[in-house]
Amino acid sequence: MNYFDLNMDLSEGEAALKTNANKFAREVMRPISIQLDQMTPEEAIAPGSPFWDFMRKAYELGYHTVGFPTEVGGSGLTPLQCAIVNEELAWGSFGMTLGLNTTLDSLAALLFGTEEHIKEFTVPYCQCKDASVVGCWAITEPDHGSDTVTPGYHSFRDPTIKAQCVARLKGNEYVINGQKSAWVSGGTIAKSTVLMCQIDPSMGHAGSGIFVFSLDRPGVSKGKPLNRLGTRDLNQGEVFFDDVHVPKESLLVGPEGYEAALEGWLGMTLPNVATWCTGLARAGFEEALTYARERVQGGKLLIEHPSVQEKLFDMFRKVEASRQLSRAVQVYNWSHAMQPEKRLIEYGMAAKTFASQAALEVTSEAIQIFGGIGISKEYILEKLFRDAQATIICDATNNIHAIVGGDKVARTYPRS
């Protein structure tokens, strides 16, 4: 379905990127997402699952590398082009798009690592065409979720907050013990990880470090795939570390630079989540618009009822606002990829909270337009609504982002 795009200067190539990504989302992702939604979490990742068909096709087309430069084998797209492609993919499935972007050890190696790290993690990932290279970002713990992604907030440096996953230096190695929670995206299928865990407990969460290493080491084990309400087409699960030894060189960022690095990291990841939420919201809006043009009630099409027109306009408004905010923030923060001090986390938080709330409200209103049939399995809308519920807590809950973002704005916004 066509829609307005206020970026009037899109080139023919960018228009083609959008068209091709939408075609892939429509013909491959959307049908597979519906299948996976009806499977158990174990079935969804089993050999022969359509999930792996999607992953292989996405890797073949290079959709896993849209955020990487050509120097390391990536697609070399601009930040705006990345946003265009990711919105279309998320229109097909928010969960599967997130799953395609779980191999963040490759990004961490590129942003914070040495040439050796890039050769070991980034290049193989970008060169992979069969989805055999899958990683994960392990940060949340059973007792620590949103509080692990609040750099700059006073509680982030509270030494009384004890982590459940810790790394201790022993000679030329770090020994890692503890657990990462069931919310690790790609956790049960990943072969490598970017692990963020505590090194210096006297600094609280700020005393953590960023590690990259393969998960085939002795002492690493994984839990069962998480079974949940929404984004059931996304694999998530626990990762356990029992005296896991990693080389000292696996540490990319230590406690002395961790808080600043995490703030820069979130400045890049949060607008990406906002873009996916925009795609999800647009999917809900378009489902409602299509249905309203076909369904007759009270002797006329739903689209002719003023109350429905008002709902549709409100949904349209939220989708368009989400797109513009998420694109603007992504373009700014991603354009400063190698300058973390210039990436603005408060804008990332604003984009993520606005777009995820929009996705939830739009899909909820879409169900109101559908009526009772909207919560049946006959239409994809009820899945979109369940998926939207998950976006509110993705990469920290919206209320925590509002508190931390509000604190940052209060401290740093220029005085008049």
pLDDT at 6: 82
- Say whether pLDDT at 3 is over 80: no
Indicate the helix (H) or strand (E) that contains 414. none
Task: Write down the pTM of the prediction.
Answer: 0.96
363-400 tens-digit pLDDT: 999 999 999 999 999 999 999 999 999 999 999 999 99
Q: How confident is the model at residue 360 (pLDDT cuts 50, 70, 90)?
A: very high
Ordered by where they begin, the domains of the chain are: 12-127 (1.10.540.10), 135-255 (2.40.110.10), 258-412 (1.20.140.10)
314-323 tens-digit pLDDT: 999 999 999 9
pLDDT at 8: 77
Taking the C-alpha atoms of residue 102 and residue 51, their distance in angstroms, rounded to an integer, is 14
- Say whether pLDDT at 187 is over 70: yes
Average pLDDT, the chain: 96
Sign of torsion over alpha carbons 255, 265, 401, 364: negative
Please report, rounded to a whole number, the percentage of residues in the chain having pLDDT higher than 90: 95
pLDDT at 242: 98
> Cβ atoms within 10 A of the Cβ of 406, count?
12
User: In the Cβ-directed half-sphere of 20, how many Cα atoms lie within 13 Å?
Assistant: 12
CB 44 within 8 A of CB 225: yes
Taking the C-alpha atoms of residue 338 and residue 268, their distance in angstroms, rounded to an integer, is 11
268-307 tens-digit pLDDT: 999 999 999 999 999 999 999 999 999 999 999 999 999 9
User: Which long-range contacts (C-beta less than 8 Å, at least 24 apart) are formed by 18-24?
Assistant: 18/84, 18/85, 18/88, 21/63, 21/84, 21/85, 21/88, 21/89, 22/88, 22/91, 24/57, 24/58, 24/61, 24/63, 24/88, 24/89, 24/92
Please report, rounded to a whole number, the percentage of residues in the chain having pLDDT higher than 70: 99
Task: Compute the chain's Rg from CA coordinates.
Answer: 21
pLDDT at 1: 41
